[in-house]
């Protein structure tokens, strides 16, 4: 996503030419819709771009919190008897 936005910025500045992908990206952003190239990388959604972006940021923070959390006792996640025997 960041790379496509950088390319779009360069195309708008005249540094590179517009291709089909950049045209579609610019059109989707102008409509306030999620570009197809981005939507292909995430779960399907009917949300407009602003709501989708807010959801994506919340999801990113959630995943980051999971990675920073203390490791769980893994057998308890798959074997309920292991959890109950503690």
Mean pLDDT of 69-82: 61
Residue 16, C-beta contacts closer than 8 angstroms, at least 6 positions apart: 7, 10
Instruction: Give the angle 51-52-58 at the CA atoms, nearest 5°.
Output: 90
Mean pLDDT of 4-25: 93
Task: Compute the distance between CA of residue 13 and CA of residue 46 in angstroms, rounded to an integer.
Answer: 31
Residue bearing the bigger pLDDT, 18 or 74: 18
The pTM (predicted TM-score) of the whole model is 0.67
The per-residue pLDDT for 67 is 76
Domain assignment of residue 24, given as a range: 2-84
The per-residue pLDDT for 22 is 93
Confidence band, pLDDT 50/70/90 cuts, at residue 66: confident
Per the structure, the count of domains in the chain is 1
Instruction: Give the angle 31-33-37 at the CA atoms, nearest 5°.
Output: 120
Q: Given phi > 0 = left and psi -120 to 50 = alpha, else beta, which region is 33?
A: beta
């Amino acid at each position: 996503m960041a790379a496509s936005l950088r390319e779009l910025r360069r195309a708008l500045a005249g540094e590179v030419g517009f291709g089909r992908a950049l045209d579609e990206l610019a059109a989707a952003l102008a409509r306030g819709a999620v570009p197809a190239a981005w939507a292909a990388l995430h779960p399907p959604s009917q949300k407009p771009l602003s709501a989708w972006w807010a959801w994506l940021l919340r999801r990113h923070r959630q995943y980051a919190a999971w990675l920073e959390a203390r490791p769980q006792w893994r057998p308890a996640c798959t074997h309920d008897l292991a959890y109950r025997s503690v």
